[in-house]
Amino acid sequence: DSGVTQTPKHLITATGQRVTLRCSPRSGDLSVYWYQQSLDQGLQFLIQYYNGEERAKGNILERFSAQQFPDLHSELNLSSLELGDSALYFCASSVHEAGELFFGEGSRLTVL
C-alpha cells in the first residue's frame, strides 16, 4: 500500500458524459501528479500540482481539468468523454517536486 488513495476504482460511463476522479496523496506529500495509461501505451503525464499550485502540464486535453485543494487532495475532471478516453488514470504523490513518486492503485475508466 503506497498510501495514495484513488476513487473510484472503476467507472463505466457513456460518451459525452463528465466524470471526476479523486486522489488523496500520502500524508505529508505536497506534490500530486496525474497520469493516463491506455492499453499498450506508456504512462502519459497529464498535470502536476504542488501545494495547490499548478506546476507542470503535459499533453492534457482541453476537455480535462484538474485542481488541488487546500487539504492537498486533487481531482481530475474529464468532460465530453470519448471512447478513446477509456484508460487507467493514475495519481501519484511525492514529498517535494524532486522526490520519488508513489502511485495510487488507479481509476479504471471505461467509456461506452
Partner 1 sequence: GQNIDQPTEMTATEGAIVQINCTYQTSGFNGLFWYQQHAGEAPTFLSYNVLDGLEEKGRFSSFLSRSKGYSYLLLKELQMKDSASYLCAVRDSSGAGSYQLTFGKGTKLSVIP
The footprint of partner 1 (CB under 8 A) covers 2, 33, 35, 41-43, 45, 48, 55-56, 58, 88, 90, 97-98, 100-106
Task: CB nearer to partner 1: give 72 or 89.
Answer: 89
Nearest distance from C-beta of residue 25 to partner 1, angstroms: 14
Which among 91, 76, 98, 79 is positioned nearest to 25, based on CA atoms? 91
Task: CB nearer to partner 1: give 8 or 16.
Answer: 8
Nearest distance from C-beta of residue 72 to partner 1, angstroms: 18
Nearest distance from C-beta of residue 94 to partner 1, angstroms: 9
Q: Around Cβ 108, how many Cβ atoms within 10 Å?
A: 15
Cα–Cα distance measured from residue 75 to residue 43, given in angstroms and rounded to the nearest whole number: 18
Phi-psi region of 80 (alpha: psi -120 to 50; beta: other; left: phi over 0): left
Cα–Cα distance measured from residue 48 to residue 67, given in angstroms and rounded to the nearest whole number: 9
Task: CB nearer to partner 1: give 41 or 80.
Answer: 41
Nearest distance from C-beta of residue 110 to partner 1, angstroms: 13
